[in-house]
Amino acid sequence: MIPALALLATLATCVNQPADWPHEDFDRIECPQVYRIHGNAPVHQALNIVLLSAGFTEAELDDYRCGAGMMVEALLEVAPFDRYACSINVYRIDLAAPRSGLNFPDSCGNQVCSHTPPVWPHKEQECRDYAARAPGGLQGTAAIPQGRHTGNCINLDLEPRACPLEAHACQVFWPTGTGLRRLWPVSTCAPAADIVIVVANSGVWSGGGSEDMHTPLAMTTLVGIDADRTRGRLLVHEIGHTLGLMDEYAQTTAYNSPSEEPAFHEDRNLIRVAENGQMPEIPWARDCKDNQGGTACRTICNPDGCDDCTPSEGDAWPLVGLFEGGFYQECGVYRASQYCVMEDANEHDFCPVCQNYIAGIFDHMGMKTCPAGTE
């Protein structure tokens, strides 16, 4: 716990739970206290996000509260989340782990593994500032769902995995099967849950996200928390996955084999050339534009050279068009923009096509945009 912040948050009182806490025996009467850290919209017209901690001991929970809160602030400054911020509710549940950090194996592939804590040199001052401006301070505002609360937090290890399957590096985080069985029931303690986000106590730039779960799940770390540029980028990228967006980077080493890759969807932020060489319909065709006022979907081929790509003639540069490379392939897959947080989580915001896709989901959910000057 941050010494200077000890008086800003209620001292955590954790309740011990059996290590094999089963899904079917969970009772909401055992819920820990749930805190609302953003929003007060009707849950049926809102995006309801639930934050859970992993790898933070009871003494470190203030780090999680502060870091997660600052990451959410950064998320709500990114389009289109900024326009819908008044229709987004964020709830936080505090889980105390038996040890600090993630349970890394000795090695993963050819890489030696070890726990790397988040680098956060200005933590005390930044968390003091956050506590002063956040609704409810560092702790947040109690959000009381139905049921009795046993305490401020539960001692519950979500068991993040640092080297799943045959990964080549110690940087892929996802709860184990046991962790998932513990995660889902405790997330129901919140008034509603459309997306569950696990915040892991690690300084490794890594995470994961999937919409193919009920409820959609993302996992992120506190890496980059001390830099404004990167504070919310990893969270933004992983939330993109929970809403159905695919990875736009072309690195072919992301997965060991095609069988491990997530599902490909043609109607979202990428298209893929068919085996017969046929180019599919472009979902974002009406959004195409270039820097000279043109509205055709101009093609930019991978500079490394791909046999089946024909670049557009002329010197106009597409702002939205067809950029070759994406979904772990250098050739045959096209994204809409040169830069996007789904292509590089370290540098960019959502491209216009991804923004429109997410906004369409929010509109379908009945979420309202914010009046000017409000959140």
Would you say 291 and 300 are in contact if contact means Cβ atoms under 8 Å apart? no
Enter the pTM of the model: 0.90
- For 12-22, write each residue's pLDDT tens digit: 577 776 545 54
CA atoms of 9 and 128, how far apart (whole Å): 11
Would you say 268 and 260 are in contact if contact means Cβ atoms under 8 Å apart? no
SS3 105: coil
- Assess whether pLDDT exceeds 70 at residue 97: yes
| pLDDT reported for residue 297 | 95
- Six-digit token string for 50: 């639930």
Q: For the purposes of burial, counting CB atoms within 10 Å of the CB of 81, is it exposed (0-12), middle (13-18) or buried (19 or more)?
A: buried
Segments in 223-283 forming alpha helices (H): 233-242
Lowest-confidence segment of 95-104, 121-130, 198-207, 260-269 by average pLDDT: 260-269
Please choose, from the candidates 292, 5, 275, the residue with its C-alpha nearest in 3D space to the C-alpha of residue 123.
Answer: 5
Domains defined along the chain, listed by start: 3-242 (3.40.390), 258-364 (no CATH)
Q: How far apart are the first and last CA of the chain?
A: 30
Q: Which residue has the higher pLDDT, 336 or 215?
A: 336
- Assess whether pLDDT exceeds 90 at residue 88: yes
CA atoms of 38 and 112, how far apart (whole Å): 39
Residue for token digits 């229709």?
A: 87
- CA 271, 263, 48 angle in degrees (round to 5)? 100
- For 145-161, write each residue's pLDDT tens digit: 655 566 788 888 887 77
